[in-house]
Structure 1
Amino acid sequence: MKYTYKTKMVCSQEISFDINGDVITNIAFVGGCNGNLKAISKVLDGWTVEQIEAKLKGNTCGVRPTSCADQLCIAVRKAYEEQKNS
């Protein structure tokens, strides 16, 4: 299933990815720190929701209470829960 999430309080505006069960693939960010977010997307490809959360949940950016990586954690959890409940 393809999922798109509108981010909050970060430079990237949107995150999209595919979710199959709890496995996340094809992560793409719109906006943000292009090189860093491309690298994160490549490294995390094929990881589970739980693995992504274990490494990145709560990560902040500067004085912001969140980051693009933290927003990805929120997005993958939301997608997983919606998929599970449908």
Structure 2
Amino acid sequence: MSYLYKTRGTCSTMIEVELDGEIVKNVKFTGGCNGNLQAIPKLVQGLSVSQIEEKLSGISCSGRPTSCGDQLAKACRAAYEAALS
């Protein structure tokens, strides 16, 4: 299942998350810092939504209350909940 999440408060504007149950199969960011946005998807591939939330939720960036990682945790949770409905 593929899910599009519109980010809030980050340089990236959209995250596409592909799940297989609770496991993240693929992540693609639109916009943002190129290096980080290539690295983050590789690091989270194969992790569960819960693992990603545990590792990335609450991370801030440049004085903002959120970050691309924090938004990814929110995107994964939203995708998982959408799949359950």
What is the DSSP-based 3-state SS (H/G/I as helix, E as strand, rest coil) of the residue aligned with 1:79? helix
Unaligned residue ranges in structure 1 (runs of 5+): none
Superposed CA offset, 1:17-74 (max 9, x none):
2111100121110110111111111111111000101100000001100000000011
Give the 4+ runs in structure 1 shifted more than 6 A.
none
**Could you state the TM-score of these two structures normalised by the residue count of structure 1?**
0.94
The letter for the 1-side match of 2:68 is C
Unaligned residue ranges in structure 2 (runs of 5+): none
Tell me the equivalent position of 1:17.
17
Tell me the equivalent position of 1:59.
59
Q: Over the residues paired in the alignment, what is the CA RMSD in angstroms?
A: 0.7
> Residues of 1 paired with 2:63 and 2:57: CA distance?
16
Identity, in percent, stands at: 52
**Could you state the TM-score of these two structures normalised by the residue count of structure 2?**
0.95
